[in-house]
């Protein structure tokens, strides 16, 4: 009976050592975790100005692209009753665009094809909630047809300067100046 107890204790001791090795036990006491986060943890938790600026630039361009997509869609049928433009465009540009679409509808004209554009944010003032976009608008494959539409002698690729502002954390395009006598 004594031999069995000795074998059982040896087995239990060996099993304990094996479990300790598998669990990563050491003879040194475990170190306490740092109470304060490292600088990388603080950086990850707090957005940097660059991150905030990049997000704002992305949002400004999304508003601009949304505006152009909505206008291209509305001009294909001269739909001056569109409400989609108001999602991306503020005054005074919204009224100007709707007036243009109304005049197209009244004249029996619409646009066919699709323009292209390549915008970039050239100025961003987060403190004033304002941005400026420079674009090269290409209307080569986008034409006014129907009614009494007359061809124009203006450039088909021209620079456009656009202003946007943030209202209630949403960006809107509110001014667009096309420089149709220039090319880009």
Sequence spans of domains, the chain = 49-178
Architecture, CATH, for domain 49-178? Roll (3.10)
Per-residue pLDDT of the chain (184 residues; tens, 9 = 90+): 444 444 343 333 333 333 333 334 444 444 444 444 444 444 445 567 699 999 999 999 999 999 999 999 999 999 999 999 999 999 999 999 999 999 999 999 999 999 999 999 999 999 999 999 999 999 999 999 998 766 677 789 999 999 999 999 999 999 999 999 899 9
pLDDT confidence of residue 7? 39
Distance CA(110)–CA(114), nearest Å, equals 12
Buried b (16+ CB within 10 A) or exposed e, 61-87: bebbebbbebbeebbeebbbebeebee
| Omega within 30 of 0 (cis) for the link into 92 | yes
pLDDT confidence of residue 1? 45
pLDDT confidence of residue 46? 54
Q: What is the 3-state secondary structure (H, E, C) of 58-97?
A: HHHHHHHHHHHHHHHHHHCCCCCCCCHHHHCECCCHHHHH
Q: In this structure, what DSSP letter does residue 116 have?
A: B
pLDDT confidence of residue 148? 74
What digits encode the pLDDT tens for the residues 54-73? 999 999 999 999 999 999 99
pLDDT confidence of residue 132? 98
What are the tokens at 146? Answer: 């129907």
């Amino acid at each position: 009976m004594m031999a069995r107890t000795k074998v059982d204790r040896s087995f239990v001791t060996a099993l304990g050592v094996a479990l300790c090795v598998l669990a990563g036990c050491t003879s040194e006491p475990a170190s306490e975790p740092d109470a304060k986060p490292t600088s990388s943890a603080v950086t990850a938790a707090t957005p940097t100005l660059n991150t905030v600026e990049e997000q704002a630039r992305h949002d400004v361009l999304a508003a601009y692209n949304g505006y152009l997509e909505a206008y291209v869609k509305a001009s294909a049928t001269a739909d001056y009753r569109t409400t989609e433009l108001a999602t991306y465009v503020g005054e005074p540009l919204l009224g100007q665009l709707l007036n243009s679409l109304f005049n197209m509808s009244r004249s029996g004209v619409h646009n066919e094809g699709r323009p292209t554009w390549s915008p970039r944010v050239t100025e961003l003032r987060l403190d004033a909630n304002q941005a400026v976009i420079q674009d090269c608008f290409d209307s080569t494959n986008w034409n006014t047809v129907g009614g009494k539409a007359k061809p124009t002698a203006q450039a088909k690729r021209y620079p456009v300067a656009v202003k946007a502002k943030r209202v209630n954390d949403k960006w809107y395009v509110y001014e667009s100046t096309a420089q149709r006598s220039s090319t880009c």
